Amino acid sequence: MAEQAEHMNESEDFIHPPRPTDPDTPKQSDFPDREGPSSSSAQATTSTKTTNPPKNAFTALMSAKSAHDQPPRRSLAAKATQTIRGVWRGALADYTNHPERFPRVVLRVTDHTVLIKDAFPKATVHLLLLPRSPQHHLLHPHAALADEGFLRVVGGEGARGEGRDWRREIRVGVHAHPSMAHLHVHVISRDMCSERVRHRNHYNSFTTGFFVPLEDYPLQPGDARLEAGVQNANLRRELVCWRCGQGFGKKFAELKRHLEGEFDEWKTE
């Protein structure tokens, strides 16, 4: 899609291991969409360019091929190498590769998935289900969940729960345009009662079509939820109580107070 869906600052929704500091760690200059070098650095670069001899045809050809071989900058594979606003977007990979390193975060490990606590929960229950399949974990959710065999496995893992009516009260799904690179499925209760729900985008990302239930996959061609423009509009929608349907316009503080009362009633059902 030519249009990129705008995101809420979803990066704060996840637990982030520190990025490894190894020689392969990309530098600031690797990302053309970031702030450029200082003026002194730019001058040094300009000076270097004027003194370097021109490339011969072979060097130019090989340079072009090298650039062509890189993943597109907006691809999830490219995103996994980026650090944006201090957040390494490939951070979720550590939980699937080395779950034993995070005993306080990891709740369950199977051959197919790792279930972790969300460090910034948007409801009383908010977990992340991380598929371990190397063929799928860097695919966009729409592409990964079009594989019906994979969808059955992930759906089965997401449906496992104890306590109250898990299927009725817990929602399992994905964001239509995730900001983290690795595939992750939200397992979240309906209440949206959390101090971590701090602005309209947080709320709308789970209560509008921006949140796509796993049971709706695979999405069919023409489904409006595939359109970036539709999803941008979903994030900007006026606020509506998930339980009673009362509208709050853009009055987020009023919605938050209302949700506390709804939560008390919901718990007694």
Q: Which tens digits make up the pLDDT trace of 132-154?
A: 999 998 999 999 999 999 999 99
CATH of 9-237, one of 3.40.50.720, 3.30.428.10, 3.55.40.20, 3.30.70.260: 3.30.428.10
pLDDT tens digits, one per residue of 6-56: 444 444 444 445 554 443 333 333 333 333 334 444 444 444 444 555 544
DSSP bridge partners of 217: none
pTM check: above 0.85? no
Domain boundaries, the chain: 9-237, 238-269
- CB of 200 within 8 A of CB of 192? no
How far apart (Å, rounded) are the C-alpha atoms in residues 199 and 174?
Answer: 19
- CB of 202 within 8 A of CB of 187? no
pLDDT tens digits, one per residue of 180-211: 889 999 999 999 999 999 999 999 999 999 99
Residue 245: burial class (beta carbons within 10 Å; 0-12, 13-18, 19+)? exposed
pLDDT tens digits, one per residue of 76-87: 555 444 444 444
Residues 6+ apart with CB under 8 A from 225: 176, 209, 212, 219, 231
- CB of 153 within 8 A of CB of 112? yes
